[in-house]
């Protein structure tokens, strides 16, 4: 890590693989410098402000005024999808504790943690929820003590996302589930933008910029395998003997009906003589297959939405004895 003291910016190595080799991608409209690792293709801000300056933002009250109820609902849907209805759940970066409060009402033994004193104060004041005031890396839970660990919009802010996922794997029970979300740069709206520097999700606090490919790489390095992607319209573009093809992921049509509604309607009338609400799943796929030809996407994995929700079970592909956890002994706070 090299600091330029004249501008308070630092050059950093790839947070995912550690390589110092990177290429500039673009400068955002807010002046952030997006770079891409030449080894693993991960994208991140470099140079970027010093860590203390970034961290200070998370202690401002405005950051915790953004409660994403939809994200909480999606987590509960993913839990139901995996037929998980009770157990011990940890929400990392829980903010004011909305998911913790909802999960407890659903029968979960839920714990939340967030490094911000402001978040802890608001959690107590607004929801009567006590949360642990700490970073995951600085707190010691018993190994294999949680059935589910959730990280909503956490890893795009993290200085060391790989270390966090190591920690998650250590505290998950065998067969436990991790659910996390991040923005995904390989989303359709971003890919179709002419001036990508204007992308509204390039904000100061998003220092890491994931794709489905780098999600997979992160999980593989941390010892997780076979992730599922939810509520995002996940699809792949592949070359075949018949040409370039769109391969829909799980629940793709459900997401497409919602996210592509405005473009489905005229095609539904033109191709099938009925409103888009009356289309069969196969007819939706036919319309999108025709539209995809104009997208001019390279082979790879994409989503229709800006963010992707990922779930994966703990199934270690590396020796967990090699994973270092902090040596500390704090106890969680008493909870009502």
Domain map (residue ranges) of the chain: 235-302
Instruction: Please write the tens of the pLDDT for every residue from 161-195.
Output: 999 999 999 999 999 999 999 999 999 999 999 99
Are the CB atoms for 253 and 52 separated by under 8 Å?
no
- CB within 8 Å of 73: residues ≥ 6 apart: none
Mean pLDDT of 210-232: 93
Give the span between the Cα atoms of 123 and 117, in whole angstroms: 10
Confidence grade of residue 316 (pLDDT, cut at 50, 70, 90): low
Instruction: Please write the tens of the pLDDT for every residue from 264-301.
Output: 999 999 999 999 999 999 999 999 999 998 999 999 99
First to last CA, the chain: 44
Residue 69 scores a pLDDT above 90: no
Are the CB atoms for 123 and 61 separated by under 8 Å?
no
Burial 62-94 (b: 16+ CB within 10 A, else e): eebeebeeebbebbeebbeeeebeebbbbbbbb
Residue 15 scores a pLDDT above 90: yes
Give the span between the Cα atoms of 153 and 146, in whole angstroms: 20
Mean pLDDT of 249-259: 91
Residue ranges with strand state E in 28-145: 33-37, 43-45, 48-49, 88-92, 109-113
Confidence grade of residue 332 (pLDDT, cut at 50, 70, 90): very low
Three-state DSSP class for residue 167: helix
Torsion sign, CA atoms 203, 185, 137, 171:
positive
Q: What is the pTM of this model?
A: 0.88
Q: Which tokens hold the place of 334?
A: 């008493």
Instruction: Please write the tens of the pLDDT for every residue from 77-110.
Output: 999 999 999 999 999 999 999 999 999 999 999 9
Give the span between the Cα atoms of 187 and 248, in whole angstroms: 14
pLDDT of amino acid 53: 82
Burial of 140 (0-12, 13-18, 19+ CB in 10 A): middle
Q: Give the dihedral of Cα atoms 296, 250, 84, 259; nearest 10 deg.
A: 60
Burial 108-118 (b: 16+ CB within 10 A, else e): bebbbbbbbeb
Burial of 327 (0-12, 13-18, 19+ CB in 10 A): exposed
* Counts for the chain of helices (H) and strands (E), in that order: 10, 16
Give the span between the Cα atoms of 28 and 195, in whole angstroms: 10
- In residues, how long is the chain? 336
- Start-end of H helices in 58-97: 69-81
Residue 203 falls in which region: left (phi positive, over 0), alpha (psi -120 to 50) or beta: beta
């Amino acid at each position: 890590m090299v600091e330029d003291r004249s501008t308070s910016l630092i050059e950093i190595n790839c947070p995912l693989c550690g390589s110092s080799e990177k290429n500039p991608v673009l400068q955002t409209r807010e002046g952030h410098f997006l770079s891409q690792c030449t080894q693993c293709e991960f994208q991140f801000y470099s140079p970027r402000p010093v860590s203390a300056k970034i961290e200070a933002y998370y202690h401002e009250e405005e950051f915790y005024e953004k409660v994403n109820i939809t994200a909480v609902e999606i987590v509960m849907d993913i839990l139901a999808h995996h037929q998980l209805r009770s157990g011990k759940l940890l929400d990392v970066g829980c903010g004011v504790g909305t998911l913790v409060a909802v999960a407890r009402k659903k029968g979960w033994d839920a714990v939340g943690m967030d490094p911000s004193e402001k978040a802890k104060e608001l959690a107590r004041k607004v929801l009567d929820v006590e949360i642990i005031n700490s970073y995951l890396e600085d707190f010691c839970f018993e190994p294999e003590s949680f059935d589910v660990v959730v990280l909503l919009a956490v890893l795009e802010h993290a200085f060391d996302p790989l270390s966090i996922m190591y920690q998650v794997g250590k505290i998950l029970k065998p067969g436990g589930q991790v659910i996390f979300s991040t923005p995904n740069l390989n989303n359709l709206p971003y890919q179709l933008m002419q001036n990508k520097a204007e992308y509204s999700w390039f904000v100061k606090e998003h220092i890491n910029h994931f794709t489905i490919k780098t999600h997979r790489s992160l999980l593989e390095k941390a010892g997780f395998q076979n992730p599922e992607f939810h509520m995002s319209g996940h699809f792949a573009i592949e070359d075949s003997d018949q040409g370039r093809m769109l391969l829909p992921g799980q629940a793709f049509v459900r997401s497409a009906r919602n996210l592509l509604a405005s473009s489905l309607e005229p095609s539904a009338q033109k191709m099938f003589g009925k409103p888009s609400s009356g289309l069969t799943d196969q007819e939706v796929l036919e319309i999108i297959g025709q539209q995809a030809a104009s997208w001019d996407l390279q082979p790879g994995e994409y989503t229709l939405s800006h963010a992707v929700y990922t779930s994966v079970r703990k199934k270690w592909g590396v020796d967990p004895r090699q994973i270092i956890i902090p040596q500390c002994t704090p106890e969680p706070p008493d909870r009502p």
